[in-house]
Amino acid sequence: MHFQGRYSIVYNGEVYNYIELRSELLKQGYNFFSETDTEVIMAAYDCWGEDCLNKFNGMWAFAIYDDVKKILFCARDRFGIKPFYYFLNNDKFLFASEIKQILKVMPVAAKMNEDRVWDFLCNGITEWSDTTFFKDIKQLSAGTCGIFALEKNNWQVKKWYNIEKHHILNNYKKNVKVFKKTFLDSLYLRLRADVPIGACLSGGLDSSSIVCGISELFNNSVEIHTISSCFDKEEEKKYDEQEYIDEVIKLTNAVSHKIYVNIEDIFAKLDKIIWHMDEPFTTTSICAQWEVFEEAQRNNLTVMLDGQGADEQLAGYTGFYLPTFIEFLKKRKVIELYKAIKNFDKKRGKVEDICANSILEDALKNLFSNRKWWKILSKLKVYGKKKENKNDCGKKIPYPYPLNKGTIKGIYNINDFDQFTKDMIQVNLQALLHFEDRNSMAHSIETRVPFLDYRLVEAIYDMPAEHKIRNGYTKAVMRSAMKGILPEKIRLRMSKLGFATPEEVWIHAHQEYFRNELLKACKILDQIVEEKKVLEWFDYCIKNNVKDYFSFRIICLGRWVKIFNVKR
């Protein structure tokens, strides 16, 4: 069966199971002239139509033109690993992997989307819908496809993938086996390559599981290179995870490459990074990730594995505790609730911006109008009086702009654990994947994310909340599955840094520099932020040792406006 000649394709990504799909299509009479996944995608579309998307396991953004039906079929993978941007007006439809490509053709599209700017400044959110920071440029959201009918000049977008519950399994031991088998199979599938493979290694549970999982699969017979971002100055030590990184290297005999990031290098490259990102970003950790991929390029590692997606699925973030508490309350799992709260206190400390006591109180208020469960939990001494924030000092904090701006309102559903998981995948994960893709592709590197194999995602989603936070541990089912594979020091570690940089240390050590950068940004953003309030906020944070979440956002936004010549 010949399909060549009818279809044309523009494709970015990788379909890992193309070998299996090729065999299936051969049996149906299709002929192939290459060994590529690109040709398999076109044959699959010819054979199964839009339903071909459900057969692909991988990451992709593509557009297929059907010269017979005169339609352009565009699609993005389930979780938005690969980007797809477009511009549409009465006489033009442009699409690309990067916004700057569209701006090259349509420079008038460099108009600011003020709702997204305020979401960024006030809420620290960069991705959550089909909109972008540019008013007239949109994107296909994760798991959506679009059809452009040329003869009718009509564009329609629809959702083709949603995570849903399928086969709920409440047996913890069986779920541990399911996780281990599916995770290792996902890893194996993503090791298909004819080039050297490396891995980003932070020393956390996720990246360490990838490196140790590869070692388990091949019994230490495959050479793997790891790239790690480290900090060696005394004041930065709490952000350094070399003790965990070294445990993984010792166990797997991986070839370790370490980089040491400093703020001077970051600001020297900041404009270049923003240009590649297309949009502003919230923290300097994105710049540290840039350095990691730059080191990978220096070592000719053209394929890198990374651990994105595990936290959003396995309740790895602190934000999961509240919906988990509520889930345990719904199911009357008081012992599990008690252990989870004690672990929360252990991880966060007794005096924090948010603590287990206040979280539980909020959870109870969300669920019960009576005090029955309050009394039971009070007898267990689970919660007491609300702790005071030691940084508050009873002073009015001079925020640099009104915090009620933006369009984000209740985007995270804390009253439903499964929906909260979906929300995290839709919002938090989308931003991380955006940074991952731009940082890697800027260095001609393909990143693969085994935790986002759809079979693994769906298997984890089917597992109950108590298999994700269990006996006080987050990511419980994963920890159990990796026993004997991970070093125990990492498998049982309670601390979590994420891909963090010592930004607050840098701000305090380079106050004058940051203040000058803020001033420059305020001049550019004079119609958006108030210079006096911004500087008051900065000085307040320095004086009172308050973590400053805003200053870098303003600096980054100002540079973005200048780099892309963005108009209001």
List 447's β-bridge partners, or say none.
304
The angle subtended at Cα 9 by Cα 8 and Cα 14, nearest 5°, is 155
Tell which wins on pLDDT, 408 or 263: 263
Q: Which band of pLDDT confidence, cut at 50, 70 and 90, is reported for residue 392?
A: very low
Residues above pLDDT 90, as percent of the chain: 68
How high is the pLDDT of residue 16?
96
Average pLDDT value for residue range 496-524: 90
How high is the pLDDT of residue 329?
82
Conformation bin of residue 141: beta by default, left when phi > 0, alpha when psi is -120 to 50: beta
290's enclosing H/E stretch is: helix 285-298
How high is the pLDDT of residue 334?
80
Q: Give yes or no for residue 405 having a pLDDT over 90.
A: no
Write out the two tokens for 467.
């298999």
Q: Which amino acid is at 348?
A: R
How high is the pLDDT of residue 128?
83
Burial class of residue 304 (count of CB atoms within 10 Å of its CB; 0-12, 13-18, 19+): buried
**Distance in angstroms (rounded) separating the CA atoms of residues 349 and 365:** 23
CB 229 within 8 A of CB 291: yes
Strands (E) across 168-254 are located at 197-200, 225-230
Q: Give yes or no for residue 166 having a pLDDT over 90.
A: no
Q: Give yes or no for residue 457 having a pLDDT over 60.
A: yes
How high is the pLDDT of residue 87?
97
Residues above pLDDT 70, as percent of the chain: 88
- In the sheet with 137-139, reading across from the earlier edge strand, the strands are 93-96, 85-88, 137-139
Q: What is the pLDDT of residues 214-233, one digit of tens each?
A: 999 998 788 899 999 999 88
The angle subtended at Cα 273 by Cα 103 and Cα 564, nearest 5°, is 30
Q: Give yes or no for residue 355 having a pLDDT over 90.
A: no
**Distance in angstroms (rounded) separating the CA atoms of residues 42 and 90:** 29
CB 200 within 8 A of CB 308: no
Q: What is the pLDDT of residues 300-315, one digit of tens each?
A: 999 999 999 999 999 9
Average pLDDT value for residue range 505-534: 93
Q: Give yes or no for residue 394 having a pLDDT over 70.
A: no
**Distance in angstroms (rounded) separating the CA atoms of residues 436 and 444:** 12
DSSP output for 342-406 = HHHHHHH-SSSSS-HHHHHHHHHHHH-SSSHHHHHHHHTT---SPPPPTTTTTPPP--SS-TT-S
How high is the pLDDT of residue 269?
96
Average pLDDT value for residue range 267-283: 97
| Mean pLDDT across the chain | 88
The pTM for the full model equals 0.90
CATH for the stretch 7-159: 3.60.20.10
How high is the pLDDT of residue 566?
97
User: Any idea where the domains of the chain sit in the sequence?
Assistant: 7-159, 172-314+421-491, 318-418, 510-563
- CATH-assigned architecture of domain 172-314+421-491: 3-Layer(aba) Sandwich (3.40)
**Residue 551: which residues within 8 A CB-CB, separation 6 or more?**
507, 514, 518, 534, 537, 538, 541
Q: How far is CA 447 from the centre of its chain?
A: 13
Q: Give yes or no for residue 387 having a pLDDT over 80.
A: no
